[in-house]
Amino acid sequence: MRLSQGRERPLTVHHLNQLLLVCSIVLLVAVAAVRISSRSGLPSLLVYLGIGIAMGQDGIGDIHFDNAELTQVIGYAALVVILAEGGLGTKWAEVKPALPAASALAVAGVAVSVGVTASAAHFLVGLEWRQALIIGAVVSSTDAAAVFSVLRKIPLPARVTGTLEAESGFNDAPVVILVVSFSTAGPVEHWYVLIGEIALELAIGAAVGLAVGWLGAWGLRHVALPASGLYPIAVMAIAVAAYAAGAIAHGSGFLAVYLASMVLGNARLPHWPATRGFAEGLGWIAQIGMFVLLGLLVTPHELGDDIVPALVIGLALTMVARPLSVVVSLLPFRVPWQEQTLMSWAGLRGAVPIILATIPMVQGVESSEKIFNIVFVLVVVYTLVQGPTLPWLARKLRLGKDAEAADLGIESAPLERLRGHLLSVAIPAGSRMHGVEVAELRLPAGAAVTLVVREGTSFVPLPTTVLRRGDELLVVATDPVRDAAERRLRAVGRGGKLAGWLGTDGTQNGT
């Protein structure tokens, strides 16, 4: 089987049947691999890359694939979905205090990292300055998929998680601009022009993303769709529209989709758990497809000469460039050294650098295959080292946070004719709402608990009904008090019946 730049014969239904069979088997194997990787600690992206390599010309599948342009297009599309899923799961209360530090890491930190890494590639490996700068730019972007998947499994302080997540969402934009600039014209003579272009594209992307996200959230909160399954589709469509609008406006589409998704993710939209599940599923499909395709593109028997250069450049990036960029960027923010150390080690790379390495291949840059091979080896080796050791480092630095009361799962369905919302509230095992009477919830006027489902049996509660773990509540709230009712329910879930006096509120700071 051959997949390459030139198509030998048109696609038929027979080919479609084969393609669907292969894709379904790959997805099933990849899903099973997630379970294996979670038990072994091996990053799942390496398993997906391995699947692609096994299917390639050096593997058992004997599929010849060398279409870098198609890989770049599909990779960009997958990255849009991954950034959208990451933005939807980003909590504004955690990111807001970290925005200045994350922005500094995404701009100044990237500049420092590119300079140091390119210098190492030039002086230590002997690459020409153009190739060295391209590699420095390509590997200076932390990977959103890797950061989101790893950090959300580690109980880190909110400032650390917020900074790293926001950085991974922000730094793709300037890095893409740098890689394209270096690939089309080599080193830029007037550096201030490049800085101006980056600033302008970031500003346009941010403006478009925030505007599209706000308009989309406003529309979904005020228009009741006829089916709950339409909300996830609408949310993802709005996020993709933000990327397209930002790119068409000559701004950063990647920044636009991340910011729009973050606005949507913090807008408390109807049927939110279903939307999050849908987005996570799309995110997994995007990651699997992207990594498998990248595995197909690489030719393992051609990597031998590039292993040592990749290890040298990766060592300079991991041990010098990344720590120096963190120290320089966070100097004004007085971040403790323990957190700086973790952020230095948590500069995870993944599919994004490999996708960006296809840009010089498409542009016809000299030695572009060597650039791609070096980046591929670097990402595989250092992801294998950094990902599994990050939880251990967090424990050694004593950056784990104490366990908090489990948050309530609240899903909202609009009641258009009644101008209200039906809130479905699930009380998890760790919630402090256990043992609270319905009357002690002290919901605002216009909101009331109308039904309790307990052990498969539903009943209308009395004011003296005591709530238990595992209960599911149906709360009807009118539009003006819906947000206040949610805040009160979350506050009781975290602080118990005395939440108001103890200072516990229901804002989403991890809620």
- Mean pLDDT, contiguous 10-residue spans, the chain (511 residues): 52 77 83 68 71 79 79 89 88 84 90 94 91 92 73 75 83 85 67 79 92 94 81 94 94 91 89 85 86 84 88 94 94 90 86 86 86 90 83 83 55 66 85 89 90 89 90 88 87 82 47 36
Is 401 domain-assigned?
Answer: no
**Who's near 286: CB < 8 A, 6+ residues apart?**
77, 78, 79, 81, 82, 85
Is 235 domain-assigned?
Answer: yes
DSSP class per residue in 69-87: HHHHHHHHHHHHHHHHHHH
Is 26 domain-assigned?
Answer: yes
Tell whether 258 and 350 lie within a shared domain: yes
Q: Of 243, 121, 236, 128, which Cα lies nearest the Cα of 176?
A: 243
Contact 387, 146 (CB under 8 A): yes
Tell whether 318 and 449 lie within a shared domain: no
Beta bridge partners of 65: 3
Is 19 domain-assigned?
Answer: yes
pLDDT of 506: 46
pLDDT of 303: 85
pLDDT of 417: 60
CA angle 164, 188, 310 (to 5 degrees): 55
pLDDT of 508: 42
Report which residue type is found at 312.
V
Host H or E run for residue 64 = strand 64-65
Tell whether 345 and 423 lie within a shared domain: no
Host H or E run for residue 180 = helix 172-185
Cα–Cα distance measured from residue 46 to residue 350, given in angstroms and rounded to the nearest whole number: 9
> Residue 454's domain is classified under what CATH number?
3.30.70.1450
Tell whether 390 and 413 lie within a shared domain: no
Residue 443 domain boundaries: 409-502
DSSP class per residue in 409-454: EEEEEEETTTTEEEEEEE--TT-TTTT-BGGGG-PPTTEEEEEEEE
Per the structure, how many domains does the chain have? Answer: 2
Cα–Cα distance measured from residue 122 to residue 140, given in angstroms and rounded to the nearest whole number: 16
Tell whether 365 and 423 lie within a shared domain: no
Which of these three, 333, 366, 396, is where a domain ends?
396
Is 107 domain-assigned?
Answer: yes
CB atoms < 10 A from the CB of 56, how many? 21
Residue 74: both structure tokens together: 């599909």
Is 403 domain-assigned?
Answer: no
Residue 319: both structure tokens together: 């041990």
Which of these three, 396, 431, 455, is where a domain ends?
396
Tell whether 226 and 270 lie within a shared domain: yes
pLDDT of 217: 93
Tell whether 30 and 128 lie within a shared domain: yes
**Who's near 363: CB < 8 A, 6+ residues apart?**
183, 184
Cα–Cα distance measured from residue 495 to residue 475, given in angstroms and rounded to the nearest whole number: 19
Residue 56: both structure tokens together: 């390639």
Cα–Cα distance measured from residue 402 to residue 407, given in angstroms and rounded to the nearest whole number: 15
Tell whether 443 and 323 lie within a shared domain: no
Q: Which long-range contacts (CB under 8 A, 24 or more apart) does 450-459 make?
A: 450/474, 450/475, 450/476
Tell whether 342 and 427 lie within a shared domain: no
Contact 238, 212 (CB under 8 A): yes
Q: Of 92, 88, 410, which Cα lies nearest the Cα of 238?
A: 88
Is 508 domain-assigned?
Answer: no
pLDDT of 3: 52
> Residue 164's domain is classified under what CATH number?
1.20.1530.20
* Cα R_g (the chain), whole angstroms: 25
Tell whether 420 and 286 lie within a shared domain: no
Is 52 domain-assigned?
Answer: yes
Give exposure, 271-297, as e/b (b: 16+ Cβ within 10 Å): bbebbbebbeebbbebbbbbbbbbbbb
Tell whether 151 and 288 lie within a shared domain: yes
CB atoms < 10 A from the CB of 83, how many? 32
Which of these three, 365, 396, 427, is where a domain ends?
396
Tell whether 164 and 35 lie within a shared domain: yes
